Structure 1
């Protein structure tokens, strides 16, 4: 080995030892007669020390000539540090240098390789290999490694088997857009990259692999944001001979195991919440339950008083913000402007201050008297010094806007602590949702989701009322994973395709292999898939999954380091039978 120890390994107990370290020069501090080098590797930083009159003069000069990010090898004796640094594990010692070898020089890096870097995101993504040297990025990938190992350990102990499924598959019409891959050997035909291994894991259940999992790469050609990437990783799982409760218990166990192994914390049993309750109380199918502030229906007490905005609305909903009656007009105007932003879409905001003396002050005093406002407060559970914030309009849009306002107020009041974790299961989603553009129903999850047994009879007559035997795991307002009990009967699957507007021919062409497999003894089965990148970012306290992916794409779907995607040559396109323009 070119080294005896790493740069994060040496402690006070090693004083007097002769060691050899390799790494990158973080910085050089030249004080003339004294020179220090901070030497960094993946494991930490060790201070290297040279002193005029003690260190060889040529060696001291060599130290002074080092540049940032030079790769060097140093030998010397471990000594107790005179001025200790309690911010790093190696802060009690330093290495008295005796020999130095430059293994490779470096150009001056385009940004500081430090946690508090001066490099913008685009620049750091272009030089990702430099960004990965920073502790904060490396620690994110170490969290990812520990998460992956812990997932495999837990599922292996639960007798799951990891099976790899194909990456080149068939395109399907449901869900997001597929990435297509042309086939040279089959001109005019295309593979698709999988959005998930859904049909393959169901086939594995038919094949008798009753407990399957895979940490699998998936692909979706969709618009990006902080928590999305065109390629991402799932913890993909499926189980046979189970009911919903078996799956919830198994994977609640996985989440608890990860919290304990990776974060060192215990979490309580996950509460269950109906989808309908999540929407009516929080305006979201992924509610953040770290704080209260649930929706209150004010229709009965707010309508019929001559205020046209409320009277003409389908819904009048409010939230009680505890202890905020002292908000100034400027603060309330700022919140009003916030909800009017296009991303939120509210037309305005009504507020009621519950004053300490028992009186009320609102933005609609000309329409509502003190008794009216008192009724609002009673319905909302508002007390002295509380603030009511009220939105109205179309039910669906008002719920969405008030849900966003609730989260914003939670953030402003410090109620969304990233070190507090509140998981839950959301269950019984709608099976289908109506799409105005295509004028047909779409599967809310996917077309293989089983209806709740008692709702199956409504599939042809009231498809919009059918509930899915589906469930999502939500932690701190983030959907971490979702799944369902699957359809395992060919007749029921055919009825589902009918409800989705598939012709018999389309269903056979797209999913004939699965329908046929169901005729050979398909067991009852169900599963779940977790967004692994998202789970890692939650555990790491970040809002962006890019921090937990070694080589992520930017918001335009580009890898700016390798400049991808890039044009293909005419020769490649000809070989694939693809013509982008008329040849001259």
Structure 2
């Protein structure tokens, strides 16, 4: 028999009754029922119940061991009997009567329980992450991640893509976030940068003649944490394709996402095909460029209805309305709570009216609305008895943010929110440029390396704020999974695009010398995208925080509490790297 096990803890069934077996695992739980000791033994594959009877060496050994100790046991498989079957366990028809026990690793007192999801704080969990990962939910999340990545590789290969690796040590890149830098021992005073993304390398692969590339790529950005963004490092499905237009990129990625979420989504429906929503339409209808389409309500721009109005709350402002049907039975608390929600987002309040049976409007601001206002709102919003209308007024961006969130919250509270579904969409036609409100300067709004729609002619003849880029995002349930673009592969178009944003030719030639040099040797039209693996798993696992899907994440301050990183370097090591440390002075 094998030194440690003949079977795993998830393997034994009724057909194994009377077999002599050897199991190894962790002491998950222990119960003493009438003098008989019942042990749940756990390994990667599952749980098997052990039985130890009083007066036996096995009883004496197991009774003294602390939970989470690792043991090897020998015993005989017996039937639990029909009345004692545990239907929640694959091994629930049997148990193992233990004859011999070997302690493989004793466990110290635990900082938190493993066999229950108690409310231990995240810092503690991250400090003892190796214990946290023993919990069923976390173990399941990490195995889901493993299965998803394996499926991605298989599906991408089947779609004709080739997996290739790109460098980890590279040059600093103006991707938008801060680089993590690595000092060079052999080149004093110079630094490598860890890649924020393999963007330039994957484009260079296309220029090198490779047609369909993908990589499960580690990316490194020195940026703050969010619920859907891990500080430090993350992984993305990096994709690039040659001789393609926008729809050519959409087709394989949409197929991949549909299959992936159908396979691992736990029976939740995946809506397909994914709608294409222009950026400006998304901002007007949903108040966001990452709309949650499970909320079956839309915003309506009614700014023109109140132009010249004497109602000061709306006059001269951008006004958005949200009509919510079937709220006649809702109490006043429904309206007050939505108002409180809007205030929590920075609004001064949330104006609203109800539609009465006769079609008239009632509520706090009804008296300020003229007959013409009421008629136009009824027509524009298709109002009927039982509707409520919520209004937001202010600057465009502010109103979009607040009313976009109110749209989702109102849908949830009023029963217009679709559960157990993955609703994807493509956001397309992003503006190429935007104006800085403070300086008036024209700058790139999204991705400076994307091809402008209309090419060089558009850059030369159109108002920069009217130019759209061949840029796109894929969004699922209000979570942006990735951005992508058809790349600007023509040097003169790239130089002109940067000139409009205030970059002179020499600066661009210097900062992007490698890419421009490559573009001048016959670059193919190409484009790509990079869905975030961590976010995909977060959605599939139905976890609110991305760190719950990563085996060893950093905390919100970009610290590894388990390994103690980041650390200080000894003086000898600093000298070898030609570095000196200048710490910030205390304030």
TM over 0.5: yes
Shift of 1:532: 0.8
Distance in 2 (alpha carbons) for counterparts of 1:545 and 1:164: 25
Would the alpha carbon gap of residues 218 and 75 (structure 1) be closer, same or farther in structure 2, given more than 3 Å must change? same
**1:212 matched to which residue of 2?**
213
2:519 equivalent to 1:518: yes
2:339 equivalent to 1:340: no
1:134-184 deviation line (CA, Å, top 9, x unaligned):
110011111111111111111111221111111111113341111122222
1:77-119 deviation line (CA, Å, top 9, x unaligned):
2122141222222222111112111111101211111252342
Judge which range, 523-532 or 115-124, deviates more: 115-124
- May I ask how many residue pairs the two structures share in their alignment? 576
**1:116 matched to which residue of 2?**
117
Shift of 1:565: 1.2
Shift of 1:560: 0.9
Distance in 1 (alpha carbons) for counterparts of 2:419 and 2:20: 44
Shift of 1:212: 0.7
Would the alpha carbon gap of residues 305 and 463 (structure 1) be closer, same or farther in structure 2, given more than 3 Å must change? closer
Would the alpha carbon gap of residues 422 and 569 (structure 1) be closer, same or farther in structure 2, given more than 3 Å must change? same
**2:235 matched to which residue of 1?**
233
1:236-285 deviation line (CA, Å, top 9, x unaligned):
01011111111111111111221233336664211211112111111111
Shift of 1:334: 2.9
**1:31 matched to which residue of 2?**
33
Find 2:19's aligned residue among 17, 20, 41.
17
* Residues 483, 527 of structure 1: 8 Å contact kept: yes
* Residues 484, 527 of structure 1: 8 Å contact kept: yes
Would the alpha carbon gap of residues 441 and 120 (structure 1) be closer, same or farther in structure 2, given more than 3 Å must change? same
Find 1:275's aligned residue among 262, 279, 284.
279
Tell me which stretches of 4 or more aligned residues in structure 1 moved more than 6 Å: none
Distance in 2 (alpha carbons) for counterparts of 1:475 and 1:540: 14
Shift of 1:129: 0.2
Distance in 2 (alpha carbons) for counterparts of 1:151 and 1:411: 33
Map 1:291-440 → 2, pairs under 5 A: 291-313=295-317, 315-341=318-344, 344-356=345-357, 358-368=359-369, 372-373=373-374, 375-413=376-414, 415-416=416-417, 419-436=420-437, 440=441
Distance in 1 (alpha carbons) for counterparts of 2:189 and 2:63: 63
**2:50 matched to which residue of 1?**
48
Distance in 2 (alpha carbons) for counterparts of 1:122 and 1:172: 32
Distance in 1 (alpha carbons) for counterparts of 2:115 and 2:499: 58
Map 1:36-115 → 2, pairs under 5 A: 36-52=38-54, 57-82=56-81, 83-115=84-116
**1:251 matched to which residue of 2?**
253
Q: Unaligned regions of 5+ residues in structure 1, if any?
A: none
Secondary structure of 2:366 counterpart: coil
**1:181 matched to which residue of 2?**
182
1:195-220 deviation line (CA, Å, top 9, x unaligned):
11111011100101111111011011
* Residues 459, 496 of structure 2: 8 Å contact kept: no
* Residues 296, 417 of structure 2: 8 Å contact kept: no
**1:164 matched to which residue of 2?**
165
TM-score when scaled to structure 1?
0.94
Distance in 2 (alpha carbons) for counterparts of 1:503 and 1:454: 19
Would the alpha carbon gap of residues 9 and 390 (structure 1) be closer, same or farther in structure 2, given more than 3 Å must change? same
Shift of 1:539: 1.1
* Residues 305, 368 of structure 1: 8 Å contact kept: no
**1:290 matched to which residue of 2?**
294
TM-score when scaled to structure 2?
0.93
Shift of 1:461: 4.9
**1:467 matched to which residue of 2?**
468
Distance in 2 (alpha carbons) for counterparts of 1:88 and 1:498: 65
Judge which range, 503-512 or 68-77, deviates more: 503-512
Distance in 1 (alpha carbons) for counterparts of 2:171 and 2:528: 21
Distance in 1 (alpha carbons) for counterparts of 2:520 and 2:376: 61
Map 1:540-555 → 2, pairs under 5 A: 540-555=541-556
Map 1:130-149 → 2, pairs under 5 A: 130-149=131-150
Q: Unaligned regions of 5+ residues in structure 2, if any?
A: none
* Residues 6, 22 of structure 1: 8 Å contact kept: yes
Distance in 2 (alpha carbons) for counterparts of 1:298 and 1:11: 66
Distance in 2 (alpha carbons) for counterparts of 1:206 and 1:400: 40
**2:264 matched to which residue of 1?**
262
Distance in 1 (alpha carbons) for counterparts of 2:36 and 2:278: 68
Judge which range, 1-10 or 257-266, deviates more: 257-266
Root-mean-square deviation (Å): 2.1
